[in-house]
Amino acid sequence: MSQKIKHCPAGHSSEDFVYSDWKNYISNETCSLCSRERYIQEFKTWSSGNANIDKIIQESQINNIYDKFHWIPYDNFQNFELISDGNHRSVYSAKLENGIKGDWSFIKQDWSYYSKGCKVALKEIKDSRFDIVEFLKVMKTANENEYGAIISYYGISKNPSTQNYIIVMHLFDGGLDNFLTMKFWDLEWQSKIDILLSIATFLRHSHEKNLVHCNLHSGNILMHYNFDFFDLDLEIDLGLCKFENGLIYSNNKNNKIYGSISYIPPEVLRGNKFTREGDIYSFGGIMYELVTAQQLFADQAHDTYLMIDICNGVRPKVPDFMLNWIPEWYLNLMYRCWSDDPSERPTSAGLYDLLRDISHKLYDNIVDNNVMRQLKIADENQKNTSKSQKQEFLELFSHSSKLHPQSCFISRNIHTLHGLHDLLEEIKSGKSSDPNLLILKLKNY
């Protein structure tokens, strides 16, 4: 039986097409075509101050059924709370006083708004070198997929005092790093595999779109800490994500890079460009943290000496007492991700296929090969750890007792070995100070 054709007061029909493959949706008071026309009418009522930014926002509102991007006036934010502050950005939480535009009501002749009174995250960009237009293009490309947006960016605003642009995004409780310090003992292998599968899904999709994250680490894997393990709520901040073609077609080596030393692949520490294989190296670091709850190289200074060690093949060591909690295949895969030769690392598609297969078998309790048998044994070994042993391990390997005062897990400017080439011998002899060594302890975020 065919559905009854609906019409809105403006004369639009439910048989009309909003897009070539999407028919007009008409409810009791909204119409997709009316909303689209109203967005276009209001383009002249606002401006970001940058024509390229305006164009991207306008295209989103014209072309996206869901996940539209908005220009959000600064006075829409109330109750600011500082989350983190760095040289390149400041992150706040704030309440959305009036919410965000949704659909136009032809009954009320006004917009419906969502997220009124909800808290959002505000990332204020303080680095003038940050190309926000390029970032918006990356965000648009990353969110073009059949499953909807892969990360919830609501729009752009501007601080009238500093004139800095602000990226408005969904507010999470924090990063995977802090989550692991709280929930490590509660995580069974099903949860660990599902977290990795979510990240591998993001990487596979990004790499298919010719995007490279360039700064993947546990601090920018954003989570709600009280999530349902059967409905994993995890998103990845796009941060420094870039189009790969723009990286590899430049022949110049980098004197400086931006990131966290322990997650940066050796070829990039040497001054080469970041590629999708570099993202896989960073994925190996996340694999390590998931099974140890330890930050990478947390017990030593993050300086040029550590960079040299990494380039010479040094990798974080899994504590001996944890080895019977971790399947051998998992460790082998982690070290493959950390290979010094990028061509020997697995692909994001390969990681996705493997982890998806394992996840499905874990849900169905299928133990039909050595991979699944090792997982079952590892899960049982960790469950059988006594409370006293757990407490001993937690005290011995606690974050505070192991963290070196000159380790650094925030993203920062790093001088590559290529950039330091003429200074390396002087740094080693003590004649020159190490520009990659922290003088003062910075707050992690």
- State which of 170, 189, 213 marks the end of a domain: 170
Beta carbons within 8 Å of 147's beta carbon, 6+ residues apart: none
pLDDT range class, residue 354, cuts 50, 70, 90:
very high
Domain range for 261 is: 174-429
Distances (CA, A) of 359 to 31, 75, 351: 41, 45, 12
Residue 35 domain flag: no
Judge if 408 and 381 occupy the same domain.
yes
- Average per-residue pLDDT for the chain: 88
Q: What is the mean pLDDT of residues 63-75?
A: 89
What's the pLDDT at 1? 45
Judge if 81 and 202 occupy the same domain.
no
Residues 311/261, Cβ–Cβ less than 8 Å: no
Helix, strand, coil % in the chain, rounded to nearest 5: 40, 20, 40
- Asked if pLDDT for residue 397 goes beyond 80, the answer is no
- Asked if pLDDT for residue 145 goes beyond 80, the answer is no
What's the pLDDT at 388? 72
- Asked if pLDDT for residue 333 goes beyond 70, the answer is yes
Judge if 125 and 248 occupy the same domain.
no
Residue 21 domain flag: no
Judge if 116 and 247 occupy the same domain.
no
What's the pLDDT at 442? 42
- State which of 170, 201, 227 marks the end of a domain: 170
d(CA 178, CA 200): 20
- Asked if pLDDT for residue 403 goes beyond 90, the answer is no
- For residue 415, the cross-strand partners are 256
Residue 276 domain flag: yes
pLDDT range class, residue 248, cuts 50, 70, 90:
low
pLDDT range class, residue 230, cuts 50, 70, 90:
low
Range of lowest pLDDT (148-152, 182-186, 287-291, 422-426): 148-152
Judge if 211 and 156 occupy the same domain.
no
Judge if 191 and 223 occupy the same domain.
yes
Residue 34 domain flag: no
Domain CATH code at residue 270? 1.10.510.10
Q: Which residue reads 């290529």 in tokens?
A: 418
d(CA 183, CA 359): 20
- Asked if pLDDT for residue 444 goes beyond 70, the answer is no
What's the pLDDT at 438? 80
Q: What is the mean pLDDT of residues 172-177?
A: 91
Which has the closest alpha carbon to 228: 191, 267, 280, 278? Answer: 191
For the beta carbon of residue 359, count every other beta carbon within 10 angstroms: 17
Judge if 262 and 378 occupy the same domain.
yes
- Asked if pLDDT for residue 110 goes beyond 80, the answer is yes
Judge if 122 and 218 occupy the same domain.
no
Domain CATH code at residue 106? 3.30.200.20
Judge if 125 and 232 occupy the same domain.
no
**Helix residue ranges per DSSP H, 265-421:** 266-269, 276-292, 304-311, 328-337, 348-363, 370-383, 387-396, 399-402
Domains contained in the chain, number: 2
Do the bridges between strand 153-158 and strand 70-71 make them parallel or antiparallel, or are there none, so unpaired? parallel
Judge if 233 and 248 occupy the same domain.
yes
Residue 116 domain flag: yes
What's the pLDDT at 441? 44
Q: What is the mean pLDDT of residues 43-66?
A: 92
Residue 252 domain flag: yes
What's the pLDDT at 294? 87
What's the pLDDT at 383? 82
Residue with the bigger pLDDT between 111 and 440: it is 111
Q: What is the mean pLDDT of residues 270-282?
A: 96
Q: What is the mean pLDDT of residues 355-376?
A: 94
Residue 257, φ and ψ in degrees, nearest 5: -135, 170
Judge if 127 and 261 occupy the same domain.
no
Residue 28 domain flag: no
Which has the closest alpha carbon to 233: 155, 187, 172, 293? Answer: 172
For the beta carbon of residue 104, count every other beta carbon within 10 angstroms: 23
Q: What is the mean pLDDT of residues 256-266?
A: 94
Residue 36 domain flag: no
Percent of the chain with pLDDT over 90: 61
Residues 232/244, Cβ–Cβ less than 8 Å: no
- State which of 170, 193, 217 marks the end of a domain: 170
Range of lowest pLDDT (65-69, 78-82, 120-124, 413-417): 65-69
Q: What is the mean pLDDT of residues 266-285?
A: 96
Judge if 304 and 387 occupy the same domain.
yes
Considering all CA atoms of the chain, what is the largest pairwise distance in Å, rounded to the nearest integer? 85
- Asked if pLDDT for residue 420 goes beyond 80, the answer is yes
